[in-house]
Chain A
Amino acid sequence: MAEYRVEPDCLLEMATRLSAGADSGPPVSWPSLHACCSPTCDAAFDEVSDAFGVAWQSAETAVMDLVVGAVRAADAYREVEARTAVEARRAGEVAEGAAP
């Protein structure tokens, strides 16, 4: 059976770092070359620029997905942890009540 282990604080800290890293990026668009080369080159550069922009945004989204995944894992763990604590307390109370 797989071993499950989560340290939610560390997970959240890592998610924060990833999020800050992704947010710190420069603008994705490139300046137009309209003023310096032929229309063919200008169009080709625009096309490459668009492709780059799409790939860049997709990479940024993927990082944010990782952030969301890590935060959800930490939240889920804490939620279960809280529920488990409540149930443990109830179990204690039940046991207390059942005692002679």
Chain B
Amino acid sequence: MRSWTDDEPGRGDVWPLHDSAAVLARQIEHAADMTVLLRSAATGAESFWSGDGHDAWAASLQRSSGAWRGLHGFAQATRDAVTRYAESLESIKERAARIEGRIEKAEEGFALTSGGAGSFGPGIPLLGLGGPSPQALEHRAAADQARRELQRLAEERRGVEARFLADLREAHDFRVSGGSTTGTPSAEQWAGMHGAGLLNGLSALTASQLADLLASDPTVGQRLHDLDPAVVAAWWAALDGPAPAAGGRRQPSPEQQALIDGMPEVIGTLDGVAFWARDRANHVTLAREITRLEATPGVDAEKLAALRAVRKALGAGMDGTPPQELVTLSIEGKPMAAISVGDLDVATHVSYIVPGMGTTVAGNMSAYSRASKDFFDLEAQVGHVPRSELAVIAWLDYNAPGATEVGAVKEDFKAAAGGARLGRSLEGLRSVRSASGRPADVTVIGHSYGSNVAAFALRESSVDHAVFLGSAGITDTVPTAMDLAVPRGEVFASQGHHDGWAPIGQGTSGRQDPTAGSFRAHAFSSEEGVDDDGKPLAGIDAHGPLGSRSAEGRHSYLDPGTTAQYNTAKIALGQGASIEVDGTPVDRLLLQSQDRLRDVADPWLR
């Protein structure tokens, strides 16, 4: 093939790239299979072979296993590079074809309107008598403009090829730096490692080597967190040991154990790592940090209180019924955490509860874990779903505005930052489940300011259902529900007419009420009602989201026995379409008017 040129930036076939990606995919799979096979051979051989011969053979096997892991990363990084290049090239080809079409059309137009006079080449003057007609000039200008666009596309293609070359180099270098055949990389090599190279290099180290590396180069953690969760998920899955027996719990492979022990703060918060492993790593961090803080009483009492709250909320953890996982734990600064009720690696229906202002780990972790458990129980009951298929996350992993930070509630910056964290968590969940071949049906439930956090996250990260409860307003960057990455008809919103805080949040910030018709969500009732079996449900009489266990015994959105909680559970189970549209601003206004009339009439009727 002739190479592409500035005049033809769209030249070239895409199919060889797709063919290469397909071959690489088979090689990635085979390398992963070989890693598992070798690991299983190593474990098996220990039970029937011992002695010097075995020891030498096992050492060779370890090197061989490292080589296959290396090939896995090499192929994966190359496949990613090829796929990215193919996508970019397809886009360039498509745009180039359109631009070339415009040039052709403009040339034809010029020929028709100029009476055939003069050349049409850029920069060559027209020689026709009396000059070209205005129409012809327009066609020429259009063609020149299109040619300039073609030039820009050529620039873009040069950039895309440069990136492809850099990606290929990185894929190749990874084998040199991360492969098992060349020994441990130097500090300089570690500092220059990214992507699959970094991941595969790390999985060849022991726990103490990992801890030393992290201590000497803290940027390693950040570089890992910058990776695409899908890349992390594929890497982690390739490190898996043999699958557990039915009903058994997954055990880490030696490489995974080393990573959990050597850098628990990183592995516990790394999106794309399987949740059972994150739970283990976060438990290591939690225990270690509590011990450290207890050894120096009074130094950071607030942090210690938060971590103790996490420990208390976790109960028996994965040994409990239902099991609870410490999904994430950040101990830098004010602690942030998320706890799941149910097993996130296997649950079919996964819901995130995103709280609003004034929420802290120290003050609210237990209450939100309880709310998650209540919601989990209700889902099992409403959907007749086995509990093993459910998981609900109390997601307190963002820096919510404080209870008195009225200014911050009006602003969007904390919601935007929280939304970015939530989005990444959602990507991590999707990647882990995609790597294990068990996709999940995901719901995000945002309460109050948390609904704005959810909206920011769902601009990019897709989920199956979204619910906004007592919203303190949705950012204007999401003009309608249609602008969220949620299937049409699966964005829901509710606000009780006794909720006094939601309208204040919306009014002071100028953000949108998601129950308003203009937002185009499915509004539903949070007032008194009955469930599908005719059992009465309470209406909310507090912004909450949790009120029934308070001294006043009030009800809010996530309390058991409320219409709001019941409808939200149905939505999370994919039954939202059957919920009656209700609870719009007009509906609330009518109810508030009736309340006032009753207040006025009551003394007269007594």
Q: Which of B26, B33, B57 contacts A66 (CB 8 A)?
A: B57
- From known contacts A31-B16, A59-B71, A63-B38, infer whether A5 and B50 are also in contact, taking CB-CB under 8 Å: yes
Q: Is B63 an interface residue (CB 8 A)?
A: yes
Q: Is B27 an interface residue (CB 8 A)?
A: yes
Asked if A4 and B51 sit within 8 Å, CB to CB, the answer is yes
Q: Is B53 an interface residue (CB 8 A)?
A: yes
Asked if A3 and B17 sit within 8 Å, CB to CB, the answer is no
- From known contacts A2-B51, A21-B34, A31-B16, infer whether A44 and B44 are also in contact, taking CB-CB under 8 Å: no
Distance in angstroms between the alpha carbons of A34 and B30 in the assembled complex: 26
Measured between beta carbons, the chain A residues less than 8 angstroms from B61 are 66
Q: Is A96 an interface residue (CB 8 A)?
A: no
Q: Is A82 an interface residue (CB 8 A)?
A: no
Q: Which of A6, A37, A56, A65 contacts B51 (CB 8 A)?
A: A6
Distance in angstroms between the alpha carbons of A30 and B327 in the assembled complex: 40
Q: Of residues A28, A56, A58, which shows the largest number of chain B Cβ atoms within 10 Å of its Cβ?
A: A56
Asked if B48 and A62 sit within 8 Å, CB to CB, the answer is no
Measured between beta carbons, the chain B residues less than 8 angstroms from A32 are 16
Asked if A26 and B26 sit within 8 Å, CB to CB, the answer is yes
Asked if B89 and A36 sit within 8 Å, CB to CB, the answer is yes
Q: Which of B16, B17, B68, B172 contacts A51 (CB 8 A)?
A: B172
Distance in angstroms between the alpha carbons of A4 and B50 in the assembled complex: 5
Asked if B50 and A62 sit within 8 Å, CB to CB, the answer is no
Measured between beta carbons, the chain B residues less than 8 angstroms from A51 are 172, 175
Distance in angstroms between the alpha carbons of A21 and B68 in the assembled complex: 12
Q: Which of B4, B48, B85, B89 contacts A10 (CB 8 A)?
A: B48
- Closest B residue to A43 by beta carbon equals B165
Q: What mask results when residues 16 to 41 of chain A are scored 1 for a CB within 8 Å of chain B, else 0?
A: 01100110111111111111111111
Q: Which of A6, A33, A40 contacts B49 (CB 8 A)?
A: A6
What count of chain B residues pass the 8 Å CB interface test?
54
Distance in angstroms between the alpha carbons of A22 and B71 in the assembled complex: 14
Q: What mask results when residues 66 to 92 of chain A are scored 1 for a CB within 8 Å of chain B, else 0?
A: 100110010000000000000000000
Q: Is B214 an interface residue (CB 8 A)?
A: no
- Closest B residue to A11 by beta carbon equals B49
Distance in angstroms between the alpha carbons of A80 and B26 in the assembled complex: 43
- From known contacts A34-B1, A38-B161, infer whether A6 and B48 are also in contact, taking CB-CB under 8 Å: yes
Q: Which of B12, B20, B67 contacts A59 (CB 8 A)?
A: B67
- From known contacts A10-B44, A30-B24, A55-B175, infer whether A48 and B67 are also in contact, taking CB-CB under 8 Å: no
Distance in angstroms between the alpha carbons of A30 and B75 in the assembled complex: 10
Measured between beta carbons, the chain A residues less than 8 angstroms from B75 are 52
Asked if A31 and B20 sit within 8 Å, CB to CB, the answer is yes
Measured between beta carbons, the chain A residues less than 8 angstroms from B60 are 62, 65-66, 69
Asked if A31 and B63 sit within 8 Å, CB to CB, the answer is no
Q: Is B573 an interface residue (CB 8 A)?
A: no
Measured between beta carbons, the chain B residues less than 8 angstroms from A39 are 3
Measured between beta carbons, the chain A residues less than 8 angstroms from B13 are 35-36
Q: Is B319 an interface residue (CB 8 A)?
A: no
Asked if A26 and B27 sit within 8 Å, CB to CB, the answer is yes
- Closest B residue to A24 by beta carbon equals B30
Measured between beta carbons, the chain B residues less than 8 angstroms from A21 are 33-34, 37
Whole-angstrom distance from the CB of A27 to the nearest CB of chain B? 7
Asked if B64 and A55 sit within 8 Å, CB to CB, the answer is no
Measured between beta carbons, the chain B residues less than 8 angstroms from A5 are 48-51
Q: Is B403 an interface residue (CB 8 A)?
A: no
- From known contacts A18-B37, A30-B24, A31-B23, infer whether A40 and B161 are also in contact, taking CB-CB under 8 Å: yes
Asked if A38 and B23 sit within 8 Å, CB to CB, the answer is no
- Closest A residue to B179 by beta carbon equals A55
Measured between beta carbons, the chain A residues less than 8 angstroms from B51 are 2-6
Measured between beta carbons, the chain A residues less than 8 angstroms from B78 are 30, 48, 52
Q: Of residues A21, A40, A58, which shows the largest number of chain B Cβ atoms within 10 Å of its Cβ?
A: A21
Measured between beta carbons, the chain A residues less than 8 angstroms from B34 are 21-22, 25, 59, 63
- From known contacts A5-B51, A21-B34, infer whether A33 and B20 are also in contact, taking CB-CB under 8 Å: yes
Distance in angstroms between the alpha carbons of A5 and B49 in the assembled complex: 5
Asked if A40 and B70 sit within 8 Å, CB to CB, the answer is no
Distance in angstroms between the alpha carbons of A5 and B57 in the assembled complex: 14
Measured between beta carbons, the chain B residues less than 8 angstroms from A56 are 27, 71
Distance in angstroms between the alpha carbons of A5 and B85 in the assembled complex: 54
Q: Is B406 an interface residue (CB 8 A)?
A: no
Distance in angstroms between the alpha carbons of A51 and B89 in the assembled complex: 25
- Closest A residue to B44 by beta carbon equals A14
B24-49 CB contacts (< 8 Å) to partner A: 24, 26-27, 30, 33-34, 37-38, 41, 44-45, 47-49
Whole-angstrom distance from the CB of B539 to the nearest CB of chain A? 62
Distance in angstroms between the alpha carbons of A16 and B67 in the assembled complex: 20
Distance in angstroms between the alpha carbons of A28 and B34 in the assembled complex: 14
Asked if A48 and B23 sit within 8 Å, CB to CB, the answer is no
Whole-angstrom distance from the CB of B29 to the nearest CB of chain A? 8
- Closest B residue to A73 by beta carbon equals B53
Measured between beta carbons, the chain B residues less than 8 angstroms from A26 are 23, 26-27, 30
Question: Lowest 8 A-B CB distances belong to which pairs?
Answer: A7-B48, A4-B51, A26-B26, A10-B48, A36-B12, A62-B64, A59-B67, A21-B37
Sample of 17 A–B contacts (CB below 8 Å)? A10-B44, A11-B45, A21-B34, A26-B26, A32-B16, A34-B1, A35-B15, A37-B89, A37-B161, A44-B169, A47-B172, A52-B78, A55-B67, A55-B70, A56-B71, A62-B60, A70-B57
